[in-house]
Amino acid sequence: MDQHSPSQTVLFPDLFEKPIVARFDTDLASSDGGAILLHRKDQQLGLIRRLASVLTDARCSERSRFTAEDILRQRVLAIACGYPDGNDARTLRVDPIMKLCSDRSPALGGALASQPTISRFENSVTRSELAAMQAEMIEVVLRSCNRRYGRGVRRIVIDLDPTDDPTYGQQQLSLFNGHYGCHCYLPMMGFVSFDGHAEQHLVAALLRPGNAAGSLCAKELLEALTRRLRELFPKARIVARLDGAFATPALLDWLDRARRVDYVVNFAKNAVLTEMAEEMMATARAQSEATGETARVFGEVFYQARSWPNARRVVVKAEVTRYEGREPRDNPRFVVTNMRLSPKTVYRLYCGRGDCENRIKEMKIDLQSGRTSCTSFFANQLRLTMTAMAFVLIQELRADATGTSWARATVATIRSGLLKIGATVSESTRRIVLHLPKSFPQVEIFRRLATVT
């Protein structure tokens, strides 16, 4: 390397007493030494291998240097490490850690796939293959949860939640959504949680058109999840916890018919429900007036909408909110349910649904799941699936850290603290050595995650 080339050196002549020269000239060095943790977790789960196994490679094998599994692994690990764009392959394809995670020699192995190869791969996947990938991800995650929590689980909660994915180009099925006020896709994420464990495990990420009904694909996903959950956790009672977008007559009818499935579904207020809850609201107003603070009263009514075949139990939270400098405000909320628990217990169970929105924020902000900028809708679904796979791997690392301060760390914290480690690699005929910083502050949790079986 030419030490005087301004394109290859960065000079800090006035920063210290002596000029500082920064050279990007270290061979077999990586800024993502912790990616080896993700690779080990993937090898334990078989996630990338199983999802790649459903893809049909129509390329000529004699001319193809990379399998679908090679490219999928390269993209998923890159996304997890903070490189959501295929363009990043221009430099990452020679990164020694990325090569090592792709079963290549860090020193002598060939470079990984280029950006054009990745783009062709993303645009080659079919609808049936994408559906099969979703089914495989459900299977991998639920089997991992079965090993982690055992067959004696008593309650499993399924959370489905739609979110917006704004679009800015000519993507297929990017349509205007009046609720979000923009052209977008409307992905739906599915999560499962077990007994009192805090982790909500991502099991599905479905891309949908921007004008899709909130409940589109929900029944099919619930059917697939409940069927497999009954097989893996025969003692468990399943609870479907859904927001108001899913309170459609067809989905509620299915939930009523489903075997051993409880549900708590948010329901929008209307004039009839508001009138039925008036006595509870009057009690809440009186309590708030007496204490000068926000007051809540829980109760229930039996309500039958015009499109419902029968009356259903609706839990009511009659709330009067008070904030300093503002007038008291009525805030009644309604949840339709088939559960027989007390109204307060049912409503508190429903409120736990809000935590899955934090998981979605991690995907959108930390993993940039909104990079759905391909023209093809199916290519964008593949990008969302790869982001979900990256999230699953990081989430499994987080679950392995139960009992430590890392058990509730966000994706961004895990990446910056455990994955983004400067490392140099040396390779001999007998072994490969990763040289990590002696001053690395997270060495203990790194060792723990590296040895979890």
Residue 277 belongs to a domain: yes
Indicate if the pLDDT at residue 2 is higher than 60: no
Is 197 found in the same domain as 126?
Answer: yes
Is 268 found in the same domain as 414?
Answer: no
Is 47 found in the same domain as 156?
Answer: yes
pLDDT band (50, 70, 90) for residue 325? confident
pLDDT single digits (tens) 17-41: 888 888 888 889 999 999 999 999 9
pLDDT at 25: 82
Is 347 found in the same domain as 366?
Answer: no
Mean pLDDT computed over 284-304: 96
pLDDT at 113: 95
Residue 42 belongs to a domain: yes
Is 441 found in the same domain as 310?
Answer: no
Can you tell me the distance from the alpha carbon of 190 to that of 17, in angstroms, rounded to the nearest whole number? 56
Lowest-confidence range among 73-77, 89-93, 323-327?
Answer: 323-327
Q: Which of residues 351, 366, 381 is at a domain's end?
A: 351
Residue 134 belongs to a domain: yes
pLDDT band (50, 70, 90) for residue 255? very high
Q: How far is CA 226 from the centre of its chain?
A: 19
pLDDT single digits (tens) 149-194: 998 999 999 999 999 999 998 899 999 999 999 999 999 999 999 9
Residue 249 belongs to a domain: no
pLDDT at 196: 85
pLDDT at 7: 47
Is 296 found in the same domain as 192?
Answer: no
pLDDT at 16: 87
Neighbours of 225 (CB within 10 A): 21
Is 225 found in the same domain as 174?
Answer: yes
pLDDT band (50, 70, 90) for residue 10? low
pLDDT band (50, 70, 90) for residue 1? very low
Residue 254 belongs to a domain: no
Mean pLDDT computed over 285-310: 95
Mean pLDDT computed over 369-396: 97
Range of the domain at 418: 1-243+353-453
Residue 202 belongs to a domain: yes
Is 363 found in the same domain as 333?
Answer: no
The answer to whether the beta carbons of residues 252 and 312 sit under 8 Å apart is yes
Residue 256 belongs to a domain: no
pLDDT band (50, 70, 90) for residue 348? very high
Count: domains in the chain:
2
Mean pLDDT computed over 189-200: 95
Residue 204 belongs to a domain: yes
Mean pLDDT computed over 134-151: 96
Indicate if the pLDDT at residue 236 is higher than 90: yes
Is 367 found in the same domain as 312?
Answer: no
pLDDT at 60: 59
Is 364 found in the same domain as 427?
Answer: yes
pLDDT band (50, 70, 90) for residue 416? very high
Indicate if the pLDDT at residue 12 is higher than 90: no
Is 209 found in the same domain as 96?
Answer: yes
Burial class (CB in 10 A: 0-12, 13-18, 19+), 61: exposed
pLDDT band (50, 70, 90) for residue 63? low
Averaged pLDDT of the chain = 93
Indicate if the pLDDT at residue 106 is higher than 60: yes
Q: Which of residues 316, 351, 386 is at a domain's end?
A: 351
Q: Which of residues 303, 332, 351 is at a domain's end?
A: 351
Is 438 found in the same domain as 393?
Answer: yes
